[in-house]
Amino acid sequence: MSNVREDRHIEGDWWSEPIPNNVEFGEGFYCETAQIFRKLRSKASRAVVIGKHVSCYAGCSFAIGEYGHCTVGDFTLLNGALIMAEEKIEIGIAYTTRVYRRRASDLGGKLAMVIAGSGPNWRNGAILFQSEDRWIVSIGGYCGDQAPDDPQMFAAYAGSLPMPQIRDIVTHAEPLSDFVSYRYPANLRRRYERLNRFPKNYLVFGDAICSFNPVFAQGMTVTAQEAALLQTCLRDGAADLARRFFRAAATAIDTPWDIAVGNDLRHPQVQGPRPLKVRFINWYIGKLHVAARHDALLGNAFVKVANLEAPPTSLLHPVVVCRVIWGNLVRGARDPDSAMHASAPHSLKS
């Protein structure tokens, strides 16, 4: 017999809240107190699935983040267990890279072009200055849509991008390397800051705490910020170091995590909760990408946010908003394909 009432409160529980609705449990479930779910933040419909005849005592804690979920098997006894589920957003990013001979006249003398992935095909591309005579080119897509490692097919894939410059260079430039392919399955975050305790003399760092979509190139920056935060924490001694460091690191991770995950959730095949705020931001960023095809100021504003040089709120500055509206109204009327190609090419001048 379970001690959970029909209203999901625990019989005789001192904790006033019921068991959350996204916790599913089997017959014979015993729970000493619903307080063990106080750190459950997941918005998943089945955030915690508990099997039959499971017993959970007051020392347990389910520290599960916004996109996390976990399963507890039948006949499990949890006493003092700290259960921390990963927040994972499956994206299946795949891209292919090759180095090409650079000519001074390429891209009109600019040093780079980045095309953000957006509908209809969600493919992205980047061509970056490596040295006076070298370009490095990467193109790819979501959900396993990887560029082929065949020269003609690679060029054809580049031709599916909304702007022709990358295709033109890979079609005619001399290749200086073999193709190199890379796959990245998911954005991943572990909420160590929500644990009440952590083993002494141990810390988790960098990608072991959180790893992002590599297209945004934020991982090394965030790790450097974590190193600076760790130095600050160490100045106050080693007492309670893990708790202090993980809470400080979480503040450095929040913004790039929201940028990467929020942008990836624009893709209709990427699974994850999309509250009203996320849907609005994704709609707005799509419009910004459309306008940035013909507006370098908007392209640079987006790149600064993606590179963590400016806060996301800078994209809502009145000047930026007005240029987004203008770019969609005027350019949309002149260029009927702009809505279809909602992608932003961002070029950097020499």
For residues 75-102, give the mean pLDDT: 90
pLDDT at 157 over 60: yes
Q: Cα(259)–Cα(221) distance, rounded to whole angstroms?
A: 14
Q: Cα(48)–Cα(68) distance, rounded to whole angstroms?
A: 9
Q: Is 128 helix (H, G, I), strand (E, B) or coil?
A: strand
User: How much of the chain, in percent, has pLDDT values that exceed 70?
Assistant: 94
Helical H segments across 127-240, by residue range:
151-158, 165-172, 219-235
Q: Roughly what angle, to the nearest 10 degrees, separates helices 276-292 and 318-326?
A: 70
Q: Residue 332: which pLDDT band, with cuts at 50, 70 and 90?
A: low
* Longest CA span, the chain: 77
pLDDT at 52 over 50: yes
Note the pLDDT of residue 336.
39
Closest CA to 298 of 314, 283, 282: 314
Q: Each residue of 267-295: pLDDT tens digit? A: 989 988 788 888 888 889 888 988 887 88
Q: Residue 331: which pLDDT band, with cuts at 50, 70 and 90?
A: low
Q: Is 312 helix (H, G, I), strand (E, B) or coil?
A: helix
Note the pLDDT of residue 244.
94
Average pLDDT, the chain: 88
Domain regions of the chain by residue span: 23-85, 89-184, 196-256, 276-348
User: Which position has the higher pLDDT, 116 or 128?
Assistant: 128
Q: Each residue of 172-192: pLDDT tens digit? A: 999 999 999 999 999 999 888
Return the C-alpha torsion angle 31, 37, 43, 48, nearest 10.
Answer: -40
For residues 148-162, give the mean pLDDT: 94
Closest CA to 23 of 52, 50, 43, 3: 50
Closest CA to 61 of 246, 208, 193: 193
